[in-house]
Structure 1
Amino acid sequence: MYIETMTSADSIYQAVVEHQTELIRRFRPDGKLTFVNGAFCRFYGMESEALLGSNFRDLLDPEECDSIVEQVLSISPEKPEIVTEPRYVDADGRLRFVQYVTRGIFDEFGNVVEYQSVGRDITAQREAETTLAEARMAMEKASRVTTLAVIGGGIAHEINQPLNALRILTASAQLLAERADSPGEDLARILRDIAAQVDRADAIVNHLREHLRQNQKVDSKTCDLGDAVRSALSLVGAQLAARDIGVDLHIDADLPPVNGSCIRFEELVANLVANAMQAMDEVKLDQKEIRVEVLGTTPGSVELTVADNGPGFAREMTAKMFEPFFSTKSSGTSMGLGLSIVETIVQAAGGSVTAINRPEGGALIEVLLPAAGGAGE
């Protein structure tokens, strides 16, 4: 039978801690609780009489019990304190979390005679973290939808080109086959052209599949930023042509590679170009132009700039333009994720992005990315 003995010192200790908001407990090396305060009792929904003498393990989730007990038993004079965050399902079925800082109380020989824990309810914090993680996941999905909306028109246009070529080549092959005097080499050439167009359509579909992959985090791959820019411009080429927007492209030769996925950098360029296109939609211009440059003039870095001759942006927008869902477009026409996606990709690659108004008019977005392996340093 367990009997609790309380000295005057214990009475003073209990008086000090009883009204604390932190959860306070003490237990022996065998796990039996010797003291709990009111906050501890309220958190677990139990009276102190029921808790005292019980084992602290009984309040742990069976799946994490052994792990937490192992951490507690690891306390020593060399490592007198540990932090644990056990979960607990209360009487209402709600999953709750508490963070305990547990210290060992040692005798003169360094043996643990008792443990004392001070805890705090972190359920609201954990729930907020879960909500934030879900919001981030939803934003990532939304960003992919935004990017696909940007390149979708280009993909459709690119696929239509080989399909139209296939129709013409197939009709030509049929005509040749119907003519008895048709040379076999002409038919063979047409069949080779058909196969090439099929390969082209397959390459376009595979490229789109890359954009649809869930895992688009920057990894250890390196990328030729010039190639990524050319690929991105080919994806949005149909939209540029439909808007009668010219593209002035300059890519330095012998650029060092940059760290990251080419697919992500294509998204970056596609969003920058789409942002420029939308800006020029807002005004009437005799000649619309976007200038894209990839430069290796800064040692150890690769610079990407996208400039347009549109209206530019108001100075007060500078601090907000890279925020998620910020948009100057009318409601319903833009999700406001384009530049936020750009900043996310650039930061993940260890780079920086800035936006300024050009002296001659229009906006300029500058992206500076470190070269892979510090090339050029």
Structure 2
Amino acid sequence: MDKDLETGPEPWAAGGVEGCTVLGDARERQRLAFELCPEAMSINRLSDGVCLDVNQRFSEMLGYGRDEVLGRTSLGLDLWVDPGQRERFAQALRATGRLEGFEASLLHRDGSSQRGDISARIVNLDGEPCVVSVFREMSRSRHAEFQVGSNELERTDGDRSYRLLVDNAFEGIAVIREEHICFANPRFLQICGYSREELAHKSIFDLIHPEERGKILLRHKQRLSGVRMPMTYDMRGLCKSGQEIWLLVNSESIDWCGGSAVLICVSDISRQKRAEEALRKSQMLYQAIVEDQTELVCRFTPDTRLTFINDAFARFFGCAKDELLGMRFLDLVPEADQEDLSAYLAGFCRERPSNCLEHCVLSTNGRKTWLQRCDRALLDDDGQIVEFQCVGRDTTKRRLYEEQIVKSLQEKEILLREIHHRVKNNLQIISSLLHLQAATDQSGAHRDLFVESQNRILTMALVHEELYRSDDLASIDLLAYMRKLLDRLLSAMGDRRRIQGMVDGESVALTIDAAIPSGLIVNELVTNSFKHAFGHHAAGRISISVSRSGERAILEISDTGRGLPEGYDFRTAKSLGLQLVVRLVKQLHGSIELVPGAGTHFRLNFPVR
């Protein structure tokens, strides 16, 4: 036997710690330490992987009895979900002789998968290299209570093997008697941060958080008095630095050096507790955000069955949560809209995981309401949709307001069209009265005045007619208006075969405030051209050009007649027509100029309103 593995008294056994050997010749205590480890442990020969021993937790976790495992390999038992994972584990272990936290999935006897991590070391047992492995489940909620009794399976290995297991265990192992620590393995020392000498003068309660001491003391006393207590529990401890740590404790009453004691195995679960606390806070925050939302939040499966709803969702449909959970979302939609909603959901995929829609839904009382929703598909690793998450809002009021606004606008549009129609008719009646009045003038002295007034009225009436017929009641197309206006003026004034009209340019939208003045200006200038630009029976052309420069409209009215006399200032002219032109240009906040050249050419420039 190697000198460093002999079971003589340890140096730290003096000075307050009972003078027992680390494990002495008490094979039963060593067996208890092996059996009470809260994780699955196994010992395998390194050369061929044959299993030499397993603890009770191994059998509980994987479903195989000890006799079924001994003498067989993990491959022979088909323990690995992925055999390639075993090869990677073996390679890594051989390379370093020690491995911690290797993630693996093992198969239970019933075929279910057990996921966790493996820590292992290569040690010499009786001169033969062996692998000591500890398999730790991902969830410690599966830790079972370990039963220890005198009828446990007998061990065939010597004290030396069990001492190696205890000293190299990944869990802290200690023996406690009368509040004093009689034995502690290296991992226990590492967890609490004390040396063996320091620990010899400590009570076990020095390592327990003050808020936990009363509860642990009561449990300790009850256990020593024979009361059966839970073997596995969580508690808060204190390490040497004073830092609070969380421990998973597995304990059992044992005989130690002729007296009652408690054997404990501890695991540092501080990281897990911190993760659980962070998860709990995150869940509370998420729940508070979701439940306090005024928006409707739900989740549903691809067949639209609801798996989660918040309070706002339940209130919207007027049901309790329990009534809605499990229902199909499609059943909450009018039958006429179900096909459209199904097609909408069918369009989700990895490339397009989110979309929005507004549609009708039915409350429990059959009332039709509107829901605006944004959905996101939740995908698995293969890109398959496993669930939908939906956030929506009640848009019923908005839809009602929109319908009222549309209805009101339709009514106003009908009314406005009717007004334009009536104004046009009234202006045409006035024009007809002027025409009749002109017909009664036998001398013909005032006939031209009546005709000019009649044309001005018809020019205004044409604007109202264009607005009445337009899809946009607020504006008219200046180019189209000029074409109709010139056509009517030429028809009213004489032989169209002698005087030709031409209108070109681009469409410019004008409001009624700009259309009537600009139309009256064109009326006066075209009338003047017809009356004065051409001699009796002379032919010619009157042209109108429409264009736009930025936010201003440009109208050019020209003829091929004799032109104005040299030095003639149209702004000071005495004629009513030109005076109207000057005043109407001011009303438009525009400008007008006489362009030099053959014939008469006016350019009108005014802002588009």
Greater relative contact order structure (CA < 8 Å, 6+ sep): 1
TM-score, L = length of structure 1: 0.50
TM-score, L = length of structure 2: 0.33
- Which has the larger strand fraction? 2
**Looking at CA atoms only, which structure, 1 or 2, has the larger radius of gyration?**
2
